[in-house]
Structure 1
Amino acid sequence: MSDVTIEYCVPCGFRERAIALQRAILNGLERDIDSVALVTGDHGVFRVDVDGETVYAKGEDDYDVDAIVREVRARL
């Protein structure tokens, strides 16, 4: 089983985006993961890690919930 971490920028207002992504990951992968943690950050961060390995980082990829969930699934 794996741990997923979603780090998001508080000053940027990314909390709702992080919560929506957390919900999507849980809806699709709840039985395959141990946890989905939300971690507060700053400086524009929005990053998704699976067991410490980054699968999405804002600025490197377009934000697409379905694509991120597929990347998380691929890393499990």
Structure 2
Amino acid sequence: MLEDVTTRVPRLEIEYCTQCRWLLRAGWTAQELLTTFTDELGEVALIPGKGGVFDVRIDGEPVWSRSQEGGFPDLAVLKRAVRDRIAPGRDLGHSDRHEPS
């Protein structure tokens, strides 16, 4: 018998390209975000995709898109973007330190 499945919020999704074999990158990114946002994230989903996709979304809203940003996210930048959506004002320690321009 199937149980009632409830989505926990916020839900972070990482859609990755299976053709490009980016599962390990997606899994590593998920691990880093789950480690940083242990109490703030409701769930993290890895979604297989195609065509070079590597997108990060929170509750369906884009946080990072490889096609729009022109590459993969720097982890510190991604952590700040996620934090700004789910835990504004939270100190991320070393991830909050911006590199000199």
What is the TM-score when the length of structure 2 is the normalising length?
A: 0.71
**SS of residue in 1 equivalent to 2:63:** strand
When Rg is computed on C-alpha atoms for both structures, the one with the higher figure is 2
RMSD over aligned Cα, in angstroms?
A: 1.1
Structure 1 residue 19: Cα displacement: 0.6
Tell me the SS of whatever aligns to 1:60: helix
Match of 2:57 in 1: 49
Match of 2:10 in 1: 2
**What does residue range 21-40 of structure 1 map to in structure 2 within 5 Å?**
21-40=29-48
Q: CA deviation at 1:66?
A: 1.5
**Amino acid in the other structure paired with 1:73:** R
Shift of 1:12: 0.5
Distance 1:65 1:12 in 2: 20
Partner of 1:65: 75
TM-score normalized by structure 1?
Answer: 0.92
Runs of 4+ in 1 over 6 A off after TM superposition: none
Name the SS of the counterpart of 2:68 in structure 1.
coil
**What is the aligned length?**
76
Which stretches in structure 2 are left out of the alignment for 5+ residues?
1-8, 87-101
Question: Which has a greater percent of strand?
Answer: 1
